[in-house]
Amino acid sequence: MKRLLAGRQVNPFGLGCMGLTHGYGVPPAPEDAAKVLEAALDLGVDHFDTANIYGAGRCETLIGNTLAHRRDEFFLASKTGIMFDGPKRGTNCHPDAVLKSLDESLARLKTDHLDLFYLHRFDASVPIADSIGALVRAMEAGKILSYGVSEWSAAHIREAHAVHPVAAVQTEYSLWTRNVEIAVRDTCAELGIALVAFSPLGRGALAEGIRDTSTLLESDIRYSHPRFDADNWPRNLALIDGFNAVARREGVMPAQLALAWVLSRGDNVHVIPGTTNIAHLAENMARQDWQPDAALLDEVGALINQQTVSGPRYPANMQKTIDTEEFT
């Protein structure tokens, strides 16, 4: 059941931790978020994914405070490279910034090393060899065991891999976000790189997580995402209703079917769905050994895909920070 990630066999069902501190409206209280982390570990999750920007460091602090005493039980990944200055968002993968951010992350996480450290976005202002060189120095110092990149194009992944082998590429991948299929998925398979899919449940849309988008708070990132707006959501909801009907027919929950579809895309693929709800976490894990047959996978893949979904995955200002190839 386990799959290889950065030289280590881990459960391909990891936990994306962003929502525990920000991103989807009002986050849970720290004590409740801590219970989710503990429950995940107890349910067999051994891959936790966070980033320095999640909650402006609060997510890393939460993980450190909650799980530091069980550090040898799980694979820990974090990221750097996205910066916020008030309302402004940008990238900074300068070597000095990368190494400074790493030390700050290690302190918050209460650990002396990360199993995997990603460059969260591509920074066109810094030569790739310079950014990767800093990560190599961090590996030589024992602060990280491997490195990865997030939302990078296939060409830039290859360029980084030529400097030092890339362990993992993280990108959005789900039934309704297929950009990785243009070039990144094949590149990862060719080079022996793990592909870590974030938002494999379509930001909750494929897990019965939302029906009325008019109730979204401005602090919820979906509030500004086109697929959830008043024009596109009714059409997308119709697709989701059809998908949910297929899941009911098969006797599984929609989230279980959506996750199984992503994992079927390759033996190097991992998923890191996020949740703030222990019941949802248990639901995600309950059918982790299930492998749907090809006919079912093809059926849902034909129902929800890049051609049938309405609206781009990001608003224009965020899309500018994404290096992954886009459909034309």
Active site residues: 54
Residue/partner pairs of 57-61 with CB below 8 Å, 24 or more apart: 57/104, 57/108, 58/21, 58/22, 59/17, 59/18, 59/20, 59/21, 59/22, 60/105, 60/108, 60/109, 61/108, 61/109
Residue 283 is encoded by which pair of tokens? 């639901």
Answer for the pair 233, 51: CB distance below 8 angstroms, yes or no.
Answer: no
Q: How far is CA 286 from CA 3, 39, 269, 280, 310, in A?
A: 18, 13, 19, 10, 31
Answer for the pair 274, 14: CB distance below 8 angstroms, yes or no.
Answer: no
* Phi, psi angle pair for 194, to nearest 5°: -70, 140
DSSP assignment string, 60-110: HHHHHHHHGGGGGGSEEEEEE-EEEETTEEEE---HHHHHHHHHHHHHHHT
Answer for the pair 18, 274: CB distance below 8 angstroms, yes or no.
Answer: yes
